[in-house]
Structure 1
Amino acid sequence: MAGRPGPRQLAFALPHAESLSRDDFLEGSANAAALALIESWPEWPNRIMLLAGPEGCGKSHLAAIWAEQAGARVVGAHAVSATAVPAALATGALVVEDLNPRAFDELALFHLMNLAREDDAFVLLTARAPPVAIEIGLRDLRSRLRAVPVVTLMPPDDHLLRALVVKLCTDRQMSIDETVVNFIATRIERSFAAVRRIVEQLDAESLRQGRPVTRALAAELLRDRN
């Protein structure tokens, strides 16, 4: 029938693999200290270290690099339980990811830190904030965590921001040219999370509309967000 709109293309959120290898880690002034820590292992200033930084800043990527070279197991802080602590430390190295307030068993983490010290195991913690900013009810754990050396990842500079746009697009097999990268980088919030959001939206809209990723598409998305 004339005037009837054509079928709408459906976009499916297919899983995509984000490379977490050392070769694909984007270096910059924002993460130089954290990368230096990972590459200096096992010559760490303390056997338990903590990486702190905002969402999407590369903590998990660095943790994955270290886990590969140290033979470390990886566990989310929310999944740490007292009964599982000995097995978690069995290799002598452990990553504990995403130490969020009130989202983990404080007694279990305290037990883990004690056992790691007894066994001379290495532990790498990650969190969005340093321990002094994390609400912890157990006094002994609070004291123990605040004694852990912290390496902070900073917000990205211009070079790192642009490089991250390219990397995340490449991970999603999206073709993007320099003009689009520059357009995005000068118009979004200066944060890793903002880069991830705009790339996800570009990917979804490109698939939904059957359009390539262009400056015009990016402009439409950014205009709609304002």
Structure 2
Amino acid sequence: MAARVPRQLAFALPHTESLSRDDFLEGPANAAALALVDSWPDWPNRIMLLAGPEGSGKSHLATIWAEMAGARSTAAHSLTSDSVPGALATGALVVEDLNPPGFDERALFHLLNLAREDEAFVLITARLPPAAMEVELRDLRSRLRAIPVVTLQPPDDQLFRALLVKFCADRQLSVDETVVSYLATRLERSFVAARRTVELLDAEALRLGRPVTRALAAELFRDA
């Protein structure tokens, strides 16, 4: 009887995703959002909102702007009324992932009022524009809908391919054009699909002890 070959375990090793300005992948989908960041402090309004789907680059852009503006950063769900003055102490703030109902509406209303009084800059990121948000506090709903919104769109083919290459590079995976072309013609063209695909390829390559090749991609995504 043949001996059973033990299954290799795959461990999720930490990896660093570069969020520098030089590593931001520009395309038609995000050109307007990048132009907004680059135009600071000459914004049409001191409070601006970036809206776009998960993984579309909102946090990357917010990180770039925070470095430029000396801004602090807070998650929308962790904001409290008591923390508002400290959050605005530098005169610039990023509020990440505004996703109702997962935040304190009164705290955010207080923040927007104080930011206006202090002439502070605020950059908010959200998956939906304020008009599509379900906000109970009427005054906050009105205030949010007055904020100018810049929307990030789904990636075009060129940007999608570049995302696949970047996510592989972030994980130190070496891939050639045949892998990228195979995936680009079979996957949903979204930021999330690109990221999750590379995560799966990385995990399977590690588990099987194989390089990331077109053959491996075909095994995983043949029916995609």
TM range (shorter): over 0.9
Aligned counterparts of 1:185 and 1:200: Cα–Cα separation in 2: 15
Q: TM-score, normalised by structure 2?
A: 0.98
Q: Which residue of 2 aligns with 1:217?
A: 216
**3-state SS in 1 of match to 2:217:** helix
Q: Which residue of 2 aligns with 1:97?
A: 96
Aligned counterparts of 1:101 and 1:215: Cα–Cα separation in 2: 41
Aligned counterparts of 1:108 and 1:148: Cα–Cα separation in 2: 17
Aligned counterparts of 1:86 and 1:15: Cα–Cα separation in 2: 34
Aligned counterparts of 1:57 and 1:156: Cα–Cα separation in 2: 8
- 1:36 to partner: Cα distance: 0.2
In structure 1, the gaps of 5 or more residues are: none
Q: Which residue of 2 aligns with 1:167?
A: 166
Structural mapping, 1:6-85, within 5 Å:
6-85=5-84
Q: Which residue of 1 aligns with 2:150?
A: 151
Residue type of the alignment partner of 1:96: V
**3-state SS in 2 of match to 1:35:** helix
Aligned counterparts of 1:177 and 1:80: Cα–Cα separation in 2: 44
Aligned counterparts of 2:209 and 2:115: Cα–Cα separation in 1: 52
Aligned counterparts of 2:146 and 2:41: Cα–Cα separation in 1: 19
Aligned counterparts of 2:205 and 2:147: Cα–Cα separation in 1: 45
- 1:4 to partner: Cα distance: 2.3
Aligned counterparts of 2:100 and 2:220: Cα–Cα separation in 1: 33
Q: Which residue of 2 aligns with 1:124?
A: 123
- 1:221 to partner: Cα distance: 1.3
Aligned counterparts of 2:182 and 2:100: Cα–Cα separation in 1: 37
Residue 153 of structure 2 is aligned to residue 142 of structure 1: no
Aligned counterparts of 2:112 and 2:151: Cα–Cα separation in 1: 21
Aligned-pair identity in percent equals: 75
Residue 171 of structure 2 is aligned to residue 195 of structure 1: no
- 1:137 to partner: Cα distance: 0.3
Aligned CA RMSD, in angstroms, stands at: 0.8
Q: TM-score, normalised by structure 1?
A: 0.98
Aligned counterparts of 1:28 and 1:160: Cα–Cα separation in 2: 6
* Structure 1 runs (4+) greater than 2 angstroms displaced: none
**3-state SS in 2 of match to 1:90:** coil
> How many residues are treated as equivalent by the alignment?
224
- 1:31 to partner: Cα distance: 0.3
Q: Which residue of 2 aligns with 1:133?
A: 132
In structure 2, the gaps of 5 or more residues are: none
**3-state SS in 2 of match to 1:112:** helix
